[in-house]
Amino acid sequence: MKILIINGPNLNLLGRREPGIYGAETFEKFLEQLRAAYPQVEIEYFQSNIEGEIVDRLHQAGFGSEANLRDGVAHPNGGLADGIVLNAGAYTHTSVAIHDAIRAIKTPVIEVHISNVHQREEFRHHSYISPAAAGIIVGFGLDGYRLAIEGLLRKSNG
């Protein structure tokens, strides 16, 4: 199974940005732990502060291309990932484009937020991602990514 984790704007600053909200661990260090915990899963990671790059990466994961075939065979869902874990950061609250990209692909997307966005500023209470996501995990810190992977694994096993 292949899972793509996509992090949006400012999440490249984890471990340095507002550690009281986001924790003191870098995502790169946490990613090492995730990969060690799930050796049977190919975990790919992508981070961008640019909305269009996130949309492009969702398209690639969902549709792939003829040049991106696994051993000459297209992936079962047509794309390059079996599941996507997405923390769109601030784009969660503003991006119709990311919403539309998720709706356009068959690959299931789990929306993750490190903090409980409903305990924060009012503008963070609305998500454009949630209506398009297969599931939502909010407020469990970095462990939310692990929970999302667990959910995708269970979903793929029927």
Whether 38 is a known active-site residue: answer: no
Of 75, 91, 99, 113, the catalytic one is 113
- Note the pLDDT of residue 155: 85
- As a dihedral over the C-alpha atoms of residue 60, residue 65, residue 70, residue 75, rounded to 10 degrees, the angle is 70
Whether 125 is a known active-site residue: answer: no
- Note the pLDDT of residue 71: 47
- Note the pLDDT of residue 118: 75
DSSP letters for 8-41: -TTGGGTTTS-HHHH-S--HHHHHHHHHHH-TTS
- Angle formed at CA 121 by CA 146 and CA 124, multiple of 5 degrees: 50
Q: Which CATH architecture has domain 2-156?
A: 3-Layer(aba) Sandwich (3.40)
- Angle formed at CA 50 by CA 4 and CA 12, multiple of 5 degrees: 65
- Note the pLDDT of residue 24: 72
Query: How would you list the strands of the sheet with 135-138, edge to edge?
Result: 42-47, 2-7, 83-87, 109-113, 135-138
Of 22, 91, 128, 145, the catalytic one is 22
Sequence-separated (6 or more) residues with CB below 8 Å from residue 107: 61, 62, 77, 79, 81, 82, 83, 84
60 φ, ψ to 5°?
Answer: -60, -45
Token output for 2:
């292949």
| The model's pTM | 0.86
- Note the pLDDT of residue 25: 84
pLDDT below 50 — which residues of the chain? 66-77
Give tens-digit pLDDT for 59-69: 999 987 533 44
